[in-house]
Structure 1
């Protein structure tokens, strides 16, 4: 795992597009991660990629929590444990930063994502609108 650099921007944008494009039909619009400014996120040091660029995670430190803003895996790499590895990496980063919890949100229609997060110890904390979409808010407390 490494931080993405400016030279990775095109590959990052392609990965996000390929990962989220199948969800457009399910939710009826482009998922929020497809609208993000990846040049700015990379510049801010928030985008972490696997060495082979098969997956990425966007991590944004907040007050008392690490926001998992996006987890994306290339469709041909689904089922290989990359998403789980990215989320484990997020936990390591939260601990490194001294943050006791992680939070994320996902579209209410992304049932497989909600199931994955739940299986990894995230709990639903509410539902709200995010950029015109219905989102499930989730949180995971880290053990000391």
Structure 2
């Protein structure tokens, strides 16, 4: 597996990966989750997206943004047939490395409250729930994790 910055030629594969990863949540939420509506051409052009490539195909992606005082994981997705292989943990580890390199003390992310798998997954990765709110028409659960010194 190779973790690398996404390039323009990856955009369609990223979009398809996100569609497959988030499709099961459409019925639960009642509409497409926000990551399914992102302009990945723009995100890739802004150099905010990295991918995990495995045997020539993209099996995971993470979209990050530097914010005041923290790094935000805006989207993280793993292909359904590649889940359980540590790709998500690797992508979160990469986000931590990026936060540390930027001198940011915290990583933040959010998920939809209907994505119950994520509500269990992020605490296992050291994230703490820090709030819940309706935002942009979605019921979101917010998480944060301190970035340990390197």
The whole-number CA distance in structure 2 between the counterparts of 1:92 and 1:128 is: 28
Q: Tell me what 2:22 maps to.
A: 20
Residue 54 in structure 1 maps to residue 59 in structure 2:
yes
- 3-state SS, counterpart of residue 51 of structure 1: strand
The whole-number CA distance in structure 2 between the counterparts of 1:33 and 1:54 is: 16
The whole-number CA distance in structure 2 between the counterparts of 1:130 and 1:66 is: 19
| 1:3-82 correspondence runs (5 A) | 3-52=5-54, 53-82=58-87
Residue 121 in structure 1 maps to residue 123 in structure 2:
no
| 1:97-136 correspondence runs (5 A) | 97-136=102-141
The whole-number CA distance in structure 2 between the counterparts of 1:133 and 1:88 is: 27
Which deviations, in whole Å up to 9, do the C-alpha atoms of 1:44-74 show, x marking residues without a partner?
0011001231000001111110000011001
Unaligned runs of 5+ in 2: none
4+ runs of 1 displaced by more than 3 Å? none
TM-score by length of 2: 0.93
